[in-house]
Structure 1
Amino acid sequence: MRKILRIATLISAAVLALAACGSNDEEPKAPSAPSGVTAQAGSATSVHVMWNQAPTKAGISGYTVYRGGAKVKDVPATRNMTDVTGLKPSTAYTFTVRARDTHGTLSPHSTGTPVTTPGTVTEDRKAPARPTGLTGKSDGARAVLLRWGKATGDQGITSYDIHQGGSKIHSVGGDTSTARVTRLRPGTRYRFTVTARDAASNISPASRSVEITTPRGAGDDPDTAPTAFRATTRTADGAYYLDLSWLAPKTGDSTGVPSYQIYLDGTFATTLAWGGEPPRGRATHSIQVGKSGGTYRVKLRAQLPDGNWGAFSTELTVTTGGGRP
């Protein structure tokens, strides 16, 4: 009887030990695979890949793009597109995208998206004609619809690139003349242009620009200014400093604010860009100023996910201490 009880006790202990090991070795749940992946040939040697950006609550820190089974590029979470270059003309490719969370866990591959690059044209150095007749209108508070006249080129048009300000933000096939641009902010003015590209990567001059202001809806336009802004002074090694701290605006982007502009006395002073991941919670920065007894007005603003600069923080007035440091 004692032997039976001892065996039962040993079995129970083993079961508990296995259960404990299982709980300690539990791995983080992988994020969901990106959806809406598209691939558009930009030229005979390049493809523009896009996908739907994950919601903020998903905690995504970046994306990885694959050509077939080979990794070709890492993309930060602030972007949902990239150009893959160095491809071969007249070649079929399949692209997938995986999301990566803050723990480094990768999602499954997205659905594979096939694309075939066009054939190149020997010694084609002539750029296509400028796209004409660009028009646009808002499509809700966070998107716009663009339309233009098709460009002409001696070897045809492979794709059209859409630019917001000076940055390329989208690409569509050469057989279309419309585009829908998303991820915009309510109550904001944007300027767009379009360029045409042929198979040899010759790019046309930019179309005329069109300016569109997205409407502002009730409760749909969060404040873009940094909050809880503070400024104090100190001296160190014979120099005077303003020590600044603030809370980032809620931009709706999981990766935080990548850079800020700081203004002194109403004039741009410097751009603060984080070398790595932006800080969570209160951010801090020090700037060197002039002499003792100097009075300074200081404010800052954040760069938003759409590339625009947000509203300014409260402007503070600070005076450096008297006497020698």
Structure 2
Amino acid sequence: MRRVARYVTSVCGTLLLTVSCTWTGDAGGSDTDGGLPPAPAGVTAAAGSATSVHVMWNRAPDGPEVSAYEVYRGTAKVREVPGSEHMVDVVGLTPSTTYVFTVRARNKAGHSGPRSKTVRATTPAASATDTTAPTRLGRTRGETTGSRSVLLSWDASTDNREVASYDIHQGAARIHTVTGDRTTAVVTGLRPGTRYTFTVRARDAADNVSAAGSPVRLTTAPGSDTGQGTAPTGFRAATHRTDGAYYLDLSWIPPRADGVITEYEIHLDGRPATSLVWGGPVPSGRASYSFYVGREAGTEYRVRIRARLPDGTWGGFSAERTAVTAA
């Protein structure tokens, strides 16, 4: 027998389990401005050089429309980007200094929502005598992971001191930065059936930039697809019984994405059932969660899960698993 359980909202540790729904509240704004946008989630900051920090956050997928994001260093607003973007470089910083950043969203009426949680980044030391750029990258590779994302990888550059970061360019525009210990990047938010050209450059702490690596030309898959390149992997499902109640136990490995994945959607028997939102630190490896499904033995559940990507879109579904409450 198959049955989709009914759930109530509950908080457990740092994970929030909620019934999937559409935003309808006011959240403190007026009836005319559509309400205030929520605090951005998944904010990260990483030094790109001795004088710059790359700040990223997850684009708000639901609720009132976001017209812009404001980036703060301490209490001062230092950058602003359109609501369609979710990353920015803060420049003109001091070497060997720790900075604190927050991000807040602004709605169409010009009202800003609450600030995000604070993140910190420390710029490396700089040498005034360093004028040597990192070497040109070795072989650069790429593959499409569906209709809206690609995975890039490259052979590491070398520097007379140290590579601080890698800049990813789409055509002539720099679209992303990763730290110098990374040799891969996931680019999401692309258009289906579109040809793109990507290049990667290495940057050191003194802001010396290498020549571009070999260009990677990729065409995203046409139309919509299953998005398996952005799906959770290693998905497992089982049940256990405690005090006469049955619980569904899930675990998975998050999909690869440049950014923090804070939200997942669970489907039971082919229909959306719940959303899982981390309100605290996100697991760095395999994630797991258990939730109540009822007291009836012999019930079979078909379950799968997908992640909300940092660009605000849903990734692909995991493999579907079956779990049965034991008699």
| Counterpart contact for 2:147–2:225, Cα < 8 Å | no
CA distance in 2, matches of 1:107, 1:142: 29
Residue in structure 1 matching 2:136, options 130, 135, 146: 130
- Larger helix percent: 1
Q: Does 1:181 align with 2:187?
A: yes
Map 1:227-238; keep pairs closer than 5 Å. none
SS at match of 1:33: coil
The residue that corresponds to 1:86 in the other structure is: 92
Q: CA deviation at 1:91?
A: 0.6
Matched, 1:171 2:177: yes
Q: Which residue of 1 aligns with 2:256?
A: none
Report SS of the residue matched to 1:150: coil
Which residue, 55, 58, 75 being the options, matches 1:49? 55
Aligned in 2, Cα 1:30/1:134: closer, same or farther, shift over 3 Å?
same
Structure 1 distance, partners of 2:64, 2:115, is: 16
Aligned residue runs from structure 1 range 130-279, under 5 A: 130-218=136-224
* CA pair 216-92 structure 1, distance change in 2 beyond 3 A: same
Give the alignment's TM-score, normalised by structure 2.
Answer: 0.57
- 1:193-237 residue CA offsets vs partner (Å, 9 max, x unmatched): 0000000000000000011111113589xxxxxxxxxxxxxxxxx
Q: Does the C-alpha gap of structure 1 residues 218 and 124 become closer, same or farther in structure 2, counting only changes over 3 Å?
A: closer
Name the structure, 1 or 2, with higher relative contact order (CA <8 Å, separation 6+): 2
Letter in 2 for 1:52: N
Q: 1:75 to 1:27 in 2, by over 3 A?
A: closer
Partners of 2:146 and 2:225 within 8 A in 1: no
Q: Percent identity?
A: 53
Given that residues 95 and 125 in structure 2 are in contact (C-alpha distance below 8 angstroms), is that contact kept between their aligned partners in structure 1? Answer: yes
Shift of 1:49: 1.1
**For the structure 1 residues 219 and 151, does the alpha-carbon distance in structure 2 shift closer, same or farther, using more than 3 Å as the test?**
closer
Instruction: Normalising by structure 1, report the TM-score.
Output: 0.58
State the alpha-carbon separation in 2 of the partners of residues 133 and 29 from structure 1.
Answer: 49
Residues 122 and 218 of structure 1: is their aligned pair in 2 closer, same or farther, counting only changes over 3 Å? closer
1:26 Cα shift? 9.8
CA distance in 1, matches of 2:31, 2:187: 44
- Contact 1:28 1:105 (8 Å CA) reproduced: no
Matched with 1:115 is 121
| Residues 119-155 of structure 1: CA deviation (Å, up to 9, x unaligned) | 0013111111011111000112111100001100001
- RMSD of the alignment, in Å? 2.2
Residue 274 (structure 2) aligns with: none
Which digits, 9 at most, give the CA deviation of each residue in 1:272-303, with x for residues without a partner? xxxxxxxxxxxxxxxxxxxxxxxxxxxxxxxx
What is residue 20 of structure 1 aligned with on the other side? none
- Structure 2 distance, partners of 1:134, 1:58, is 40
Q: Distance in 2 between matches of 1:51 and 1:61?
A: 15
* Residue in structure 2 matching 1:75, options 59, 81, 87: 81
Q: Tell me how far apart the structure 2 counterparts of residues 28 and 218 of structure 1 sit (CA, whole Å).
A: 30
Point out where structure 2 has 5 or more consecutive residues left out of the alignment.
1-29, 227-310, 312-327
* Cα distance, 1:219–1:182 mapped onto 2, change above 3 Å: closer
The alignment covers a number of residue pairs equal to 198
Mapped pair 1:105 → 2:108: no
- Please say if residues 168 and 177 of structure 2, whose CA atoms lie closer than 8 Å, have aligned partners that are also in contact: yes
Distance 1:81 1:70 in 2: 18
Do the aligned partners of residues 163 and 157 (structure 1) sit closer, same or farther apart at CA in structure 2, a change above 3 Å counting? same
Kindly state the Cα deviation for residue 181 of structure 1 after the two structures are TM-superposed. 0.4
Q: What is the distance in 2 between the residues matched to 1:203 and 1:80?
A: 24
